[in-house]
Amino acid sequence: MRLLIMGPPGAGKGTQAKAVADHFSVPAVSTGDIFRANVSGGTPLGVEAKRYMDAGEYVPDEVTNNMVRSRIAEPDAAGGFLLDGYPRTLAQVAELDGMLKAGEHDLDAVLVLTVDQEAVVARLLKRAEIEGRADDTEDVIRRRLEVYAEETEPLIAVYDERGIVVRVDGMGEIDEVQQRIFAALDDLQD
Ligand code: ADP
């Protein structure tokens, strides 16, 4: 299985990505998590990424593309992967297409979590209190939602044209959403 999970910041992608990846025995590759690990580790990549992340802006494509390319070339991703947070721009879509083509693979599905805008702001503010993520302040959250609407939402239409988008309602309890996702993906496999 080669899957993407998409949705606005706060849609619950990270939480659901882990469950879906476990279900299909593939690694969940989250660009946000990889960037945050590099920030905590103080690596050069982390130092570079932090400037953008703290402002709610995207890290430059070149940096992100190279990072994903090497991650999905690792042995544990040979049988598939679930990408969370990538691609986020049209240029990244083209790069991913190239990476997949090189391995003669196709994407099986693009899972899109649909959520209500005000609900995600509330969720992110709550997460800010619990996890203290540097990019979870109200101004930065609004900026991240704007950048998502401008740069990333249009990607759904691209994948829609390919007929591989699976939309799932992301509102409700974590378990409920998870059941919806499994039902939708199992339908796909039949
Ligand atoms: P969110 O919960 O806002 O979707 P993520 O944890 O996925 O956040 O990502 C956090 C930040 O990491 C983003 O705001 C961005 O700065 C950076 N980032 C993650 N993935 C990408 C990407 N594919 N391209 C550029 N920047 C990215």
pLDDT tens digits along 122-179: 988 888 888 888 888 888 999 999 999 999 999 999 999 999 999 999 999 999 999 9
CA proximity to 2, closest of 21, 18, 19, 30: 21
Task: Using the mean position of ligand 1's atoms as its centre, give its distance from the Cα of residue 13 in Å.
Answer: 11
Q: How many residues does the chain have?
A: 190
pLDDT given for residue 83 in this prediction: 98
Q: Return the best residue to mutate from 15, 18, 40, 53 for the ligand 1 pocket (most ligand atoms within 8 A of CB).
A: 53
| Pocket of ligand 1 contains residue 88 by CB under 6 Å | yes
> Are the C-beta atoms of 60 and 151 separated by less than 8 Å?
no
The three-class DSSP label of residue 63 is: helix
pLDDT tens digits along 31-78: 999 999 999 999 999 999 999 999 999 999 999 999 999 999 999 999
Write out the H or E segment, with its range, that includes residue 41: helix 31-41
| Pocket of ligand 1 contains residue 7 by CB under 6 Å | no
pTM of the model: 0.92
Residue type, 111: L
Find out whether the peptide bond into 75 is cis, omega within 30 degrees of 0: no
| Pocket of ligand 1 contains residue 59 by CB under 6 Å | yes
Query: Distance between CA 14 and CA 52 in Å, rounded?
Result: 20
Q: If you search the block for the tokens 């993407």, which residue do you land on?
A: 4
Query: Distance between CA 2 and CA 104 in Å, rounded?
Result: 12
| Pocket of ligand 1 contains residue 12 by CB under 6 Å | no
Query: Distance between CA 37 and CA 67 in Å, rounded?
Result: 13
Atom of ligand 1 nearest to the CA of 84: 7
Query: Distance between CA 125 and CA 122 in Å, rounded?
Result: 5
| Pocket of ligand 1 contains residue 52 by CB under 6 Å | yes
167 is catalytic: no
Q: Residue 172 CB: number of other CB atoms within 10 A?
A: 13
Q: Return the best residue to mutate from 39, 65, 82, 135 for the ligand 1 pocket (most ligand atoms within 8 A of CB).
A: 135
> Are the C-beta atoms of 135 and 28 separated by less than 8 Å?
no
In DSSP notation, 103-115 reads TT----EEEEEE-
